[in-house]
């Protein structure tokens, strides 16, 4: 079946692509690949990657879902609790470019599998850390960040390679739906397990089991190589193509590029640069909200006299459950609405994507401000 063959393996050595600055592949081969629509197995592979993405983001947001319990257990201040997420994000940030570089040059299935196994094992191990070894818990969150970076940077590229332009946006939209769904389920899982068992440690023992299933599915269903339907597009859309010789028959035309050369090439793509800066700003806000909103709402309720201060080890996690549900519902609605709006507006304006991104974030800013201000008087209005 054609889905089991890699485009690079079909090319002679001199025409294989390496890195973000690879030159275009032969036009005739590209046309033959593009003419083949996605097979059923392609959709199955995408489903496996979406499932693993779900677990990935569930694991991200277990800590915020039971942050109050963790603070009490390890006797952490707000600064110490915030440092947990800082360690996670810093390790993720530093590891992501490295895995992106490796994913361009080595077997992506092996990297994905190793990442899932690594972060699942570390998460499971962190559930057995005693209150006397707080520093090990911080270390474990950093290691989880490294493991998840290997997945988040590589999995979308496989989906992009499996589907052509007509279906690629739809499939990637489905993949990204599992970011808010997984985030919300992380809150729900953490709060639910803490409530049912009376011990927050159990929240860290569910996702590793799900990660084990994802690893088995990855091994059984995802091929070692996927045909790159976007090879020419990638080479043409990024400036700075490196050529080692003139384009003559029998002369090698492309060379392996270094990580620094790839980054320098991307830095010349201003659309990429500005999109990255916009995403950074959005991630800063959503990361802060994701970490602190349940605790913020709990403290607002204490101030209003709605709930009593938590003195026992297992505290009320209803805010995490509600916030998780809101994250799931509005996340799905936002991704679907954004993708559909972009599809329709793109017919009349080729800048539809950045316009929708900018408009939606601009509208969300006053809503966020209002939510934070009304929390001191009405929790329901904050949720709305």
CA angle 221, 227, 228 (to 5 degrees): 130
Q: Which residue has the tokens 């629509």?
A: 37
pLDDT of residue 123: 93
d(CA 359, CA 361): 6
Q: Are 317 and 191 in contact (CB under 8 A)?
A: yes
| Mean pLDDT of the 189-205 span | 88
CA distances from 102 to 153, 164, 189, 245, 258 (A): 10, 24, 33, 25, 11
pLDDT of residue 180: 87
Whether 72 shows a pLDDT value over 50: the answer reads yes
| Mean pLDDT of the 11-32 span | 43
Two structure tokens written together for 47: 């489903």
| Mean pLDDT of the 42-68 span | 90
pTM for the structure as a whole: 0.74
Percent of the chain with pLDDT over 70: 80
pLDDT of residue 152: 87
> Sorting pLDDT into bands at 50, 70 and 90, what band is 34?
very low
* Helix ranges restricted to H, 198-246: 207-221, 231-237
Of the listed ranges 26-35, 58-67, 138-147, 311-320, the least confidently predicted one is: 26-35
| Mean pLDDT of the 98-116 span | 89
Query: What b/e readout covers 109-130, taking b as 16+ CB neighbours within 10 angstroms?
Result: bebbbebbbbbbbbbbebbebe
Q: Tell me the per-residue pLDDT of 337-363, one tens digit each, with 9 for 90 and over.
A: 888 888 888 888 888 888 888 899 899
d(CA 104, CA 90): 22
Dihedral sign from CA coordinates of 328, 331, 335, 336: positive
d(CA 338, CA 249): 46
User: Residue 295's Cα: distance from chain center in Å?
Assistant: 24
Query: What b/e readout covers 236-272, taking b as 16+ CB neighbours within 10 angstroms?
Result: eebeebbeeeeeeeeeebbbebebebbeebbeebeee
Under DSSP, the state recorded for 233 is H
User: Residue 300's Cα: distance from chain center in Å?
Assistant: 31
pLDDT of residue 365: 92
Structural domains in the chain, sorted by start: 40-246+268-383 (1.20.1250.20)
Q: Which residue has the tokens 């509005």?
A: 330
């Amino acid at each position: 079946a054609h889905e089991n063959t890699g485009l690079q393996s079909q090319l002679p050595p001199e025409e294989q692509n390496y890195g973000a600055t690879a030159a275009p592949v032969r036009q005739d081969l590209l046309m033959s690949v593009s003419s083949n629509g996605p097979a059923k197995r392609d959709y199955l592979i995408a489903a496996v990657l979406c499932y693993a993405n779900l677990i990935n983001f569930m694991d991200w947001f277990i800590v915020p879902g039971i942050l109050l319990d963790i603070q009490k257990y390890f006797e952490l201040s707000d600064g110490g609790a915030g440092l947990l997420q800082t360690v996670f994000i810093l390790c993720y940030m530093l590891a992501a470019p490295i895995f992106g570089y490796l994913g361009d040059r080595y077997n992506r299935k092996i990297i994905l599998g190793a990442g899932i196994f690594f972060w699942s094992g570390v998460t499971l191990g962190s559930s057995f850390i005693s209150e006397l070894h707080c520093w090990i818990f911080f270390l474990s969150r950093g290691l989880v960040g490294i493991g998840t970076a290997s997945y988040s940077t590589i999995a979308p590229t496989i989906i992009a390679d499996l589907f052509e332009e007509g279906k690629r946006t739809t499939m990637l939209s489905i993949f990204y739906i599992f970011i808010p769904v997984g985030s919300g389920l992380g809150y729900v899982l953490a709060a639910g397990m803490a409530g049912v068992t009376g011990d927050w440690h159990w929240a860290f023992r569910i996702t590793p089991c799900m990660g084990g299933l994802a690893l088995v599915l990855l091994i059984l269903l995802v091929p070692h190589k996927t045909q790159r339907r976007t090879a020419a597009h990638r080479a043409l859309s990024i400036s700075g193509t490196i050529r080692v010789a003139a384009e003559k028959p029998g002369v090698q035309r492309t060379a392996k590029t270094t990580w620094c050369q790839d980054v320098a090439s991307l830095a010349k793509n201003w659309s990429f640069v500005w999109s990255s800066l916009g995403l950074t700003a959005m991630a800063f806000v959503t990361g802060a909200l994701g970490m602190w909103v349940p605790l913020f709402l709990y403290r607002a309720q204490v101030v209003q006299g709605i709930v009593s201060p938590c003195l026992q080890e297992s505290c009320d996690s209803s805010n995490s459950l509600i916030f998780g549900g809101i994250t799931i519902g509005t996340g799905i609605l936002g991704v679907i609405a954004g993708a559909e709006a972009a599809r329709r507006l793109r017919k009349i304006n080729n800048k539809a994507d950045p316009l929708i991104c900018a408009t939606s974030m601009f509208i969300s800013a006053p809503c966020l401000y209002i939510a934070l201000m009304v929390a001191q008087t009405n929790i329901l209005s904050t949720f709305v």
